[in-house]
Each structure stands twice: as structure tokens, then as C-alpha cells.
Amino acid sequence: MVRDQKTSPQRLGGLVVGNYCHDVLIRDGVVVGETLGGAVAFISAVLDGISIPYNLVSKVGPDFAYTTCRSPIVIPTSRTTLFHAHFDSDIDGNGNGNGNGNGDRVLKRVTVCDPIRASDLDTESKFGFGMAVGVGGEIKPETLERMVDICDLVLVDIQALIREFDEDGTVKLVGLKESGFFHLLPRLGFLKASEEEAVYMDVEEVRKMCCVVVTHGKEGCNVYWKDGELEIKPFEANQVDPTGAGDSFLGGFVAGLVQGLPVPDAALVGNLFGSLTVAQIGLPKFDSRLLQRVKDEVQRRKMQFTSSHERQDDELRFVKPAGHEQFHASLDSAKLIPTCISQECQWDLPSSPPRAVEKAILPQYAGQPKLVLNSIYEEKLHAVEDKP
């Protein structure tokens, strides 16, 4: 057994915890994008698309620019968390910076909304799963501890635990042991990290306490648990914008678990949604026909798995079941369904705030040329590194 806590949610409904944000992308001093941000925005898009029921706890200020989100808690005395992502592109003229294709990014938290406290969570209810997906330091150890008390299974994005901020708001990452959350790891189900974030923990140590999932972008992901590890294949994608790929992965991963898939198959669903997200600019819009096809394939896969495995203990759920490669192929074929791929469709994002709101957020940039683009969560941060 991996641990006493179950590895699949047993109750209907989930709890997603993290603040919505305003994201602003600035390249060479010019604002090129303003849009809805925060991991909860991307995760909600996936869970809503797959029809997974959940409650969301998020805080914003009265300046929050988006009306299509699930109702967040509005803090009258605070402002919505705002991130500026600064890029330099003065080397090759193509936005690559330093000529290396990556571009240095300095991510700064300009304003911060109130943290989400343990008392903000509904303690009268019990949830099948919980997701702690903070981006601006809004989740505290006591909040995560309350989540593990009221949720059967808790999944955490490591950025919610290891992000800290300098006086000027610059993001830095600290070692997981120094984060204040380390003692809670044995009570978690899954801890997700990008390959850049994974260096801030000892994977060999953490995998003995909870399952670790490390995403590798176009290379797929690896799953580590106490007694083994798996490499999960990716899906090809025409990458346009890597914004929120890891968040969409986590949403797809938990959706697969909720539907009763074993961990390797659930990770395939996560990889699929990550690939769909990077093929669009900003917050993704998923074609309804594609979503229905995915739901059908997941349901078919669930029936195959449950009919061939009468006993579903923890260890069995980590083994790649027969038909895993065929499931990958069936999900891949779902991507062949025609979707909105025109340039006009890609740039016409409903998450773009009204011009008046844009100016209220950043009056100093009024009149500057803009494109609708998110700041990028999955790109490598140029940050102060306090590695463990």
C-alpha cells in the first residue's frame, strides 16, 4: 500500500481553493496582454468541460474584471491579486531573448488579495477531492490542514507551497522543507510540480510520503510513488501559448481519478488537456464535441478497468493496466475533431476585460498597443533561487 489515504475520490463533488488573478504580460516595457489568471481559472475550464461537480473558494477585490467566473468572495478592502510578467526580447527580434528560445521572465506580484483562511472553507460538508492551487501565497498551512480534514483526497500544486515574494513583489521559490507545509505531506494524495519546480524538493524523500507527479511539457509527465515510478506519454500539440498547461493537466488528472480511472490513465487525461491548452492563447475554449468524445472514451475506459479488476487496491491503481496504449490512441483521435483554429478565433478571448476596466487596472499603460495574452505560469521563472 502506498499510504493509508485512498488514491481515488469516493464522494461526489470537490473543493478547489485558490485566488483568481489579473495577469499582465509586458514585453520590453510594452503591455501586450491582460487577461484572467490564476490556476483556478484553467482548472475550472477543464472540470466544467468534463462535468465534474465542485465548489470553489477564491478571493478577489471589488476591482475584479471578469463576470463569467464562479462567484468568488469579494473583499471590499482589498484589490484582486495582480501579476506582471516582464519579458525582454532585444536579442533576436523574435521575443526569444538571449537568443536561446526561452526568454528571461521576471514575474512580479503587484497587488495581493487577502489569503484564504481555514475559516473560509465549508467545514459542514465533506468532499471527494480537494485541490490547493494557490499562485500568490494565498494558501496557508492551516488552510491546507483544514482541506485534508474535510476532503477524501487532496491534490496540491507545489507552487502554492514554495512561492515567496521579495519586497518588490518578485517571485522566488524556496525549498519545500522551508515552506511551512512539509509536515502535511503524509496527508496529501498527490503533489504536482513542473520539472523546474521539482528541484526544490527531494523527490526520493517526498515520494515516500505522497505520490509526486512531475510534468515535462511536451515530454509528458512522470509519476512517482513509494514503490515505483511511471513515465506517461504526451500528446503532440502545436504550441501557441504554454499558459496554464500545468493547471489544465492537474484538472484533467483529477477528472480522470474522479471517473474511476487508474493513475496512469488519469495522467493521460491530464496530458491531453495540457496539450489542448498550449494550442490556444490564454484561457482555453474546449470544443463541445471534443469534450463529449473525451467523456465517452473515459467512461468506456472506466468500464474496461472495473470489469477486469474486482480488487482495486492502491498498488493496483498505479500499475499501467492492459489497454493503456489503446486508451492513449483513442484520446489522441479525439483531438482530430475539427475545432476553432482560425487566428481570429484564437485571439478573440471572452476573458479579455472591457477597455474601461483595462485602464482602471493599468492606467499608466493606457494607449499602449496590446495583444490578448496571459502571463505564463509554466515557463521557467527568472527568479531568486533559494534551492534546498
Q: Cell 489569503, residue?
A: 115
Spatial separation of the C-alpha atoms in residues 104 and 87, rounded to whole Å: 6
CA angle, 247 as apex, 243 and 250 as ends, to 5°? 150
**Residue of 247, 287, 296, 386 with catalytic role:** 247
Angle subtended by helix axes 324-334 and 288-308, to nearest 10: 170
Which residues, at least 6 apart from 179, have a Cβ–Cβ distance to it below 8 Å? 161, 162
SS3 percent helix, strand, coil of the chain, rounded to 5, is 35, 20, 45
Helix (H) or strand (E) holding 314: none
Spatial separation of the C-alpha atoms in residues 169 and 37, rounded to whole Å: 17
Q: Pairing state of beta strands 228-232 and 190-194?
A: unpaired
* Grid coordinates belonging to 223: 509519476
- 23 flagged as catalytic: no
Spatial separation of the C-alpha atoms in residues 180 and 302, rounded to whole Å: 38
**Alpha-helical segments (H) within 30-154:** 39-49, 141-150
Strand partners, 213: 192, 223
Instruction: Tell me which residues are annotated as active site.
Output: 247
